[in-house]
Amino acid sequence: LINGHTAMRSMLTVCLLCMFVAACYTSSKYTTSYDNLDLDEILNNHRLYTRYFQCLTNKARCTPDGKELKAVLPDALATGCAKCTEKQKQGS
């Protein structure tokens, strides 16, 4: 279970990063709206972490940010963050 939890945490980390750098799916570059977001705070806050995880696994309703994450995640992962700015790539 710990290894599974670690793997899921890693996956969520990637997902959250993609969500915060990929708020605009059709743009040539992802939005910079979330560039200054503290991902460590989300990952270390059980309530926030659980909320995003449950959204991604269809176990709870998504916030607007969570909905955006689910919408852009496939593209961001499939393209290797091709639409990321340099700052976003450094954060990944």
Q: pLDDT digit string (tens) for 5-62?
A: 777 777 777 777 766 665 545 457 777 777 777 778 888 999 998 998 899 899 999 9
Each domain of the chain, given as residue ranges in start order, spans 2-91
Greater pLDDT, 79 or 8: 79
Q: What's the CATH architecture for 2-91?
A: Orthogonal Bundle (1.10)
Q: pLDDT digit string (tens) for 13-29?
A: 777 776 666 554 545 77
- In this prediction, residue 52 carries a pLDDT of 86
- In this prediction, residue 74 carries a pLDDT of 79
Instruction: Write the CA distances from 91 to 11, 33, 35, 56, 88, integer angstroms.
Output: 15, 14, 8, 21, 5
In the predicted structure, residue 1 carries a pLDDT above the cut 60: no
Q: Rounded to an integer, what distance in angstroms lies between the CA atom of residue 34 and that of residue 21?
A: 6
